[in-house]
Structure 1
Amino acid sequence: MFPLFEYFLVSWIDAAAAEHVYINDDAIREQGKIIQKRLTELPGCKENYESFDMSSGWLQGFKQRHNVVLKKKNKDLVDPAEIPGHQMGMTMQLEKFAPRDRFNCSDLRLELTRLPETVPDRRRVTVFLCVNADGSEKRRVLVVNRVATPLSFSQEKVNPANLPVIYRYSQRPWYTGLWYDFLRTFDMEIRAEKRHAVLLCQTSPSYPPPTQPPHFYKGPPPPVLTNITLIFLPSNLPMSLQPLDQGIIACFKATYRRMYVQALALHRTLTGAGRSKLTHLECIGMIASAWQAIPPRTIVRCWQISGICQDLMREEVSEEFKPERYILTQESLCGRCVRQIMPHTHGESFRQFWQLDESLPSEGTAPDAVRLIDEAVAAGVLEHGPDGINLNDIETGEGDPMPEEIISSQTAIKYLSQVNRYLRSLPETELRVPQGRSIATRGAIEHNSRIISGVFQHIDNNKPSSRKGSSRIDTDGPEKEPQEQWDTETISQVYPSLLMS
């Protein structure tokens, strides 16, 4: 009926949800009037709102059409004196499972490229974390972005399936289909390992039980869980009872900010030139690294603080692994790097940067609907319609540094072979890796050789004989002339280590 108007109204609701702003039907109607007024001022808008009334019937239909679920204000929090009883009840449910089989999950909003004394940009993603009680199993991070293909992805020809995170695109920070996809995959993997696990999550419209899908859900059938037991925290309990909210999320954000600033400082040290921000691709990799960097003992401590796992209380956690100490360490390292790349930053600016979205407010500042409209108009919404807006231009197109050219397959093989030569020359038989682990040098060489073998297979699959009409062997490199032909005999002579695999 009014697609442009409804598009901007939904955009405002999503932006308000991202800022944790409480909204109700009256707020939607009020913003609707602002949006209508602004659209009627635009000469290219052909929608006429003179006889349009945002009645209760229209509003109900609008929310159903766009899957809008409004959160209610919770004024009936449980009496603090009753919290120990709830903790004991959850303990009794969780103690049926071993610590490695107790999981907690939650989502958070992360601002990717903010620095002290800089204007906030719109590079925000939703990050979904899941971890078990003994810290031995951090589930692969799920990242939800409003941009399907950021500029750095297309420049680097990135296949999202090869990223260290699960990357999804959605105009909404979170939706039911993502939750059901996660549960389906999680249950399947736990079942394959012949385990039974429990998953603790918050009671929220974002996490509907698979047995009670929302009426507006139109995706694949909800998963039937066979090896996962869901426990929903009562909505009237403070979220601080959730282990992730007891310091795990704060540690993750602190680690990410420290790594982000360190990367900029390292670039300045190595090249002598400064960068204002990293690309989306670099930030995505940093999210995965920050998640893996959190020590398991810190995770155990956060589960202890929640008070819902009495059997974990007997474990001693040294001072250095407590979340508050871990965050202070990250802050100190980050501060040193900030002084290196921004020597004139004063202490208060750094504190504001460091505390950025550390604890998201329950009620933030409502987004500016007029600004949302003006940005979309600049991107061509009036010419192409809502579906034709190039979100890459709005959110990620500006400021990304141009990457180096992607090397050819032959060059990749050359570099990988050089790494193998280096590894073979090492006197050590083991290599130390993060978190106190080690890998055999021979194992690293064999693994690298398998990568070389895979690159050769890629070349073989792209030979002219296997691709009709193609005169090129290597399609991912910048070189235009025909590439050298490789056969099994040559590979065996030049790279004998491949025979070991």
Structure 2
Amino acid sequence: MSNNKRVRLSISQKIDLLDQNATGQLNQTDLGEWAMKKFNLDQPLAQQTISNILKNAETLYSNVNVVKNSKSLKTTRYPQLDDEVEKFVADMNNSNLPVNRDSILRYVRHIAQVKCRIPGKEISFSSGWLTKLFKRIGVRSRPMHGESASVDISSENIQNELRKIEELLEPYDPVDIMNFDETGLYYQQPPRRTICSESLGGLKKSKTRLTVGLLCNSDGSYKGHPVVIGQHKSPKCFKTRANLLSMTAIGKKHEVVYHYSTNAWMTNEIFTAYVKKLDVAFGRQNRRIALLLDNASVHKIKIPLNNIKLIFLPANTTSKLQALDAGIIANFKAHFRAQQYDRALCLYISKKLDNLDVYKMDQAQAMFFLANAWLKVNPETIKNCWQHTKILAFKEKTICDFEPVEYPTSALPLEEEIVAELNGMIPDLPGNFNNEVTDVSQLNLEADESDMIVCYTANTTNNEETAEG
């Protein structure tokens, strides 16, 4: 009995094999060897298998749009339903309207009965049936991010505002253009989704939060210390964990700027004090900064600034125009959650806490984690998020709009003083044996480096031969 295992290729692999065969370079045996290397098979593809694939070429090519990883061409009994659902999902996506599985099931039942005239008991319309339909048309459930779909930055009013912002940003180098924004951090919150074999009840969501303000420039070369706002001036954990606090709120790499307010939100007083210190710090560095902000009332400060220009983005556009909202804050929070989950796992393994408490931490620990998370945000990530907003695209356009420099096609005449100076250096030039050259006009100034080296070597060789002779 043969030990060879039957090999089944996916539709896309069969199409690749047909394309390779169409080149006419390989016979069927060679195609078997080619398939083994191409698809990482344990053995060459059998000649009979290849023959069957070649015979079904027309059918395979006609079904090239089916799911690529499928290994058979089994089709649905009612392909018109697939088409209707695919069109429905596309229409909803194009309108930026969310649609879930339940909505699609309701719609497909209606279409099956009213438009396709399919008998009621022909299709189960079960969850499994819908999952297979999703696989056939290439869609799946995904979260919707941010509020960018609600923004139309192409409107005339917003375009006028953007032109004004470009005029304000024009004098500044990209490294001196910065963005500041706040985000809420629920630092004791457990994961919202879980892997399970059956339905589980959720945990109570923690409402304990900090407000974190982040500042960065457009190329990621500058990241300001995070501004952290809590509810209390001096939480108990600051006293009981003074050593940890010295690594966060006070010290060194993990420094944060701590403030407090009644509801742990940013206030005009806190923001004013923060920007005032920034203004002094940038003044010491002789830097002039353009600071992009959303138009929240807490950002409207009344004190004069010498080194910072506050520039406010149009209302309701920050989800598309603000770099921190374009992925920087999300990346920062991902680094924070990674530390939180690592800590929870360690506590679970060591059995130091009740399982329900493994995600809880005090404010000092949270401040350490968030400071560390901000350090881990890569400058390249920051740069990419700025580029995604295209708010500085006019800077790149300005660079590209420069007229190319035209260089002279022939040598320019030398000034008399330079000629005299060069002539004085000629006797000491390497390779100028027997003072063969006395004037700069005799030098071939357009000879490339390799010509000069060959020339020098040849002269040296000739003189050595003369000396030996």
Query: Fold match, TM over 0.5?
Result: no
Q: What is the TM-score normalised by the length of structure 2?
A: 0.45
* TM-score in terms of structure 1 length: 0.42
Larger Rg: 2
Relative contact order (alpha carbons < 8 A, sep ≥ 6): 1 or 2 greater?
1
